[in-house]
Each structure stands twice: as structure tokens, then as C-alpha cells.
């Protein structure tokens, strides 16, 4: 089961061209949804405006070498290691989900386009990585959903309470979970396999088609925002948040406990 390509087995009831067209359609939906999200919310304009302001306010002009160093540091710390998360549990859950999703998506694309039929034997490592990636998403995603979310962990609210901001994580978990169940049932030649495949397609379509309304697009904009933040700190310009000493007195300080009104 873990070393068989589920998409090659599916080719017996569905032409590989259909699966490939679906994957291409999902890629187009992500690209179009991300562009719409950037234009609608003005994310790109905000980023460049803030970048120009920080350069104008900065007491130091950054050279090309310094910018490259900041870009590399942003990629390593903020992107690859999710350094923006101070909470160790949340960072671990995020890394599991992120890397699991990357592995899952890449192996899916390779198997669909490179090994779409049993006539082309699939290397055993690819399906194994597909399962590993999917299980990583499930571990990280369900850990976050049931135990780490702020309103669940700190406020004791029900994990079944759903808001619009939860669209991305819920559609992601639904897609991956249904995909793994479908692959398992198909390997066992269960009659319910095609039912779960249909549910898998629906959940996956929701995941990639809902980019303008979910947090999916954030993964493309966050690296740019992190780089801008590092550059603003390096050139001496003030960030969007006031310094701790500039906070109003009523919020208290390190030497004075906050006063409640």
C-alpha cells in the first residue's frame, strides 16, 4: 500500500489526461486567487509603500551585499525554520504541516505527470514520500486544531467552533485526510474507494479555489513581509509598531504592573 502509486491504479477508471488537467487547473486557481488576493487587499502596494517609507526614514543605506545577506537570513530563519513563531509547539506543528504539504504536493505532481499508468513503474520511494507527507500534514494540522489554537488552548472554547479564518486549515486537513483514506481503500479494492475519491476531489477543489478567502495566499506574501521587517531594522528606520518605551503609560512597563480600567 505504501509503495504503490494510487494515481497509476486510478488510471484504470479515469484517463491520465483528466488527472493531469485537474492538477493544472488547481495550479491556475492558486495563481489567479493569489493575484486577486494581492490586488483586492492591496498587499503588494502596502509592501512597496512601506518599503519606500522605511528606506526614506532609515539612517543607513543598505548595500547589495547586505540585502543579499538579509534575504538569505529571511529564507533560512523566517521561511525554512518558521522563526516568527515564538511558541515551540506552534512552530513544530507549523513545520510539520508546511513540509508535509510540500512533500505531498511535489510527489503528487510527479506521480500524476511522470508515472500516471502502471505501464511506467513508479519508484517505491515516491508513494512512500506521498504517505509520509500526508501523515505529517495530519499530525501537524490536527495537533494545531485541537490543542494549539488560541481560543481552544487558552479560552477553553470548543474545537468544533468554526470561523472564516479556519477555511484554509480545515480544507487542507479534509483534502489530505480524504486522499489518504481513498488511497488506503483503493489498495484494499474496496467498493467505497471511488466515493472517497469524489470527496477528496471536492475538498481539494475547495482548498485551491478558496485562495482569495482563506489564508493560503499568506504563504507567498509572508516572506516578503519578513524581509521588509529585517531590512527596516537593519537600516535604522522605525517599524510599524511603537517602541516599548513609547507605549502609553496606562499599559504599564517592565517596572510597573499594568493598570486596569
Q: What pLDDT does residue 214 have?
A: 76
Domains of the chain, first to last: 6-51+63-231 (1.20.950)
pLDDT tens, residue by residue, 80-132: 776 677 778 888 998 999 999 999 999 999 999 999 999 889 999 999 999 99
- pLDDT, residue 132, reads 97
Q: Which residues of 122-134 are buried (b: 16+ CB within 10 A; e: fewer)?
A: beeebbebbbbbb
Contacts of 33 (CB under 8 A, 6+ apart): 208, 209, 210, 211, 212, 216, 217
More confident residue, 237 or 207: 207
User: Whose CA is closest to 170, among 157, 155, 160?
Assistant: 160
For the residues 143-172, what does the mean pLDDT come to?
Answer: 76
CB-based burial, 101-115: b 16+ in 10 Å, e otherwise = bebbbebbebbbeeb
Lowest-pLDDT range of 71-80, 164-173, 177-186, 252-261: 252-261
Mean pLDDT of the chain: 79
The reported pLDDT for the residue numbered 28 is 95
Backbone angles phi, psi at 161, to 5 degrees: -75, 120
Minimum mean pLDDT among 26-35, 119-128, 219-228: which range?
Answer: 219-228
Grade residue 248 by pLDDT with cuts at 50, 70 and 90. very low
**Structure confidence by residue, pLDDT tens digits, 170-207:** 999 999 999 999 999 999 999 999 999 999 999 999 99
Given a cut of 70, is residue 156 above it in pLDDT? no
| Residue 210: pLDDT over 60 | yes
Supply the pLDDT for residue 252.
Answer: 41
Amino acid at each position: 500500500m505504501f509503495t504503490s502509486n494510487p494515481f497509476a491504479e486510478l488510471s484504470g477508471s479515469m484517463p491520465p489526461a483528466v488527472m493531469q488537467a485537474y492538477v493544472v487547473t488547481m495550479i491556475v486557481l492558486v495563481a489567479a486567487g493569489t493575484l486577486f488576493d494581492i490586488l483586492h487587499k492591496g498587499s503588494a502596494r502596502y509592501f512597496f509603500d512601506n518599503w519606500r517609507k522605511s528606506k526614506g526614514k532609515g539612517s543607513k543605506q543598505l548595500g547589495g551585499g547586505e540585502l543579499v545577506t538579509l534575504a538569505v537570513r529571511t529564507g533560512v530563519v523566517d521561511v525554512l525554520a518558521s522563526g516568527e513563531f515564538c511558541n515551540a509547539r506552534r512552530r513544530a506543528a507549523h513545520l510539520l504541516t508546511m513540509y508535509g504539504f510540500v512533500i505531498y504536493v511535489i510527489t503528487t505532481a510527479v506521480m500524476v505527470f511522470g508515472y500516471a499508468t502502471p505501464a511506467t513503474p513508479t519508484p517505491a520511494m515516491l508513494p512512500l514520500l506521498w504517505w509520509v507527507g500526508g501523515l505529517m500534514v495530519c499530525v501537524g494540522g490536527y495537533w494545531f486544531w485541537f490543542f494549539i489554537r488560541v481560543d481552544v488552548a487558552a479560552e477553553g472554547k470548543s474545537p468544533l467552533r468554526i470561523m472564516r479564518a479556519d477555511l484554509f486549515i480545515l480544507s487542507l486537513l479534509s483534502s489530505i485526510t480524504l486522499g489518504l483514506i481513498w488511497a488506503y481503500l483503493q489498495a484494499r479494492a474496496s467498493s467505497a474507494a471511488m466515493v472517497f475519491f469524489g470527496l477528496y476531489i471536492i475538498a481539494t477543489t475547495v482548498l485551491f479555489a478558496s485562495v482569495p478567502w482563506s489564508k493560503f495566499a499568506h504563504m507567498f506574501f509572508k516572506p516578503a513581509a519578513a524581509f521588509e521587517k529585517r531590512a527596516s531594522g537593519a537600516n535604522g528606520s522605525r517599524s510599524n509598531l511603537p517602541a516599548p518605551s513609547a507605549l502609553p503609560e496606562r499599559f504599564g512597563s517592565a517596572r510597573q504592573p499594568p493598570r486596569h480600567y
